[in-house]
Amino acid sequence: MNQGLIRVAIIGSGIFVRETYIPNIIANPGRVKLTAILSRSAESVAGATSLLAGQENEVLEFSGTEGEDLFFAEARDICDAVIIVVPIPLLGKYVERCLSLGLHILSEKPVAMTSGEAQRLISLYRGGSGKGLWHVAENYRMESAVAYAHNLVLKHDCAPKSFSLLALRQQSTSSKFAVTPWRAVPAYNGSFVLDGGIHFVALLRTVLGGEVRGIQAIYEEKSVVEVGSCGCCRVGEAMGTFQIKYGLFPAVVCRLDIYWGDATMNIIQHKGVGYEVRMTGEETRHFKFDGLQLEFALWLDTFGLDSVSGGGASSGAAEASELAPEEALVDLLIVEKMCGTR
């Protein structure tokens, strides 16, 4: 064990683990080391650990019911923190088990399957005596383009009057996300609006910075891959409309337009490229997607420079408010209203 390295285990071994979290861990060799992966399938775990070929440290592999029991029996000895990337219906189960062990947690959005479950977990977290901190990943809130746009809103001499959020995301029955079994037959309300649309709620809230209220929405679910919500709401002093839809669209359109009496801002997401931010009187700016990297770096920063010494959960960690579970709960409550859940 190298002094100061944060020992991280991952629960889950699917697409996002392989494409995002393992690369982020590899990119931070002086700060974090992966010590274990737990998943339902031994084959899937092996596939994930194979991405670490050439790395110095051994990664313990746990799978199935027996592997899960063994992992949680040994967790405090083999890791300081756990990253939870599992199907939405399983999030609460694993967050609760890790909270009970006092481990630091980074769990993928949404904060839980339902707001009721989220509130129960937050009560356990805030009322417990464990030393571990619980953060919820929401990379759109961390994008440099989003932070820049928010600063432009603050810079203007008056609050926005209105806005329009349009997110049309291509989705087909053969996409790598749609074919995953838990998404193909979702056991939760909202389908892809909850799974992916929650990002746009975070974007809207972060850019405008006000409370979202007065939501009026129509939710439609024709099939697993044809689902959406449209309606209106107020954010701060601005009244606006939203459309968040997944389906067989010929193109992807993702943009947030904000209007003042004397100015307009356009935040346009270009698939596979990044963001374009245009504002009346300002130079157009282009940004690469960087939220996933910045989010992970912020999470690592919560441990502090000297808070981890290679033996159990650290005591010097400090919570990042941007990733607090209460912040993610607000996103979830809004999505539930958009999807007709009260």
Strand order in the sheet with 81-84: 60-63, 32-39, 6-11, 81-84, 104-108, 134-137
Q: The dihedral of CA 71, 114, 193, 292: what is its sign?
A: negative
Determine the 3-state secondary structure of 139 from DSSP.
helix
Rounded-to-integer distance, Cα 26 and Cα 42, Å? 22
For strands 285-288 and 212-221, give the pairing. unpaired
Decide: 275 and 286 in contact? Cβ < 8 Å: yes
Where do we find the tokens 């958009």? Answer: 338
Tokens of 271: 């698939």
Rounded-to-integer distance, Cα 200 and Cα 269, Å? 11
Residues 6+ apart with CB under 8 A from 174: none
Decide: 160 and 208 in contact? Cβ < 8 Å: yes
Task: For the chain, 342 residues long, give each residue's pLDDT as a single digit of tens.
Answer: 345 799 999 999 999 999 999 999 999 998 999 999 999 999 999 999 999 887 777 899 999 999 999 999 999 999 999 999 999 999 999 999 999 999 999 999 999 999 999 999 999 999 976 679 999 999 999 999 999 999 999 999 899 999 999 999 887 766 777 667 777 777 788 888 999 999 999 999 999 999 999 999 999 998 877 899 999 999 999 999 999 999 887 778 999 999 999 999 999 999 889 999 999 999 999 999 999 999 999 999 999 744 443 443 345 678 999 999 999 999 999 999 999 865
Where do we find the tokens 């088990």? Answer: 97
In this structure, the number of other CB atoms found within 10 A of the CB of residue 332 comes to 26
Rounded-to-integer distance, Cα 305 and Cα 154, Å? 32
Determine the 3-state secondary structure of 138 from DSSP.
coil
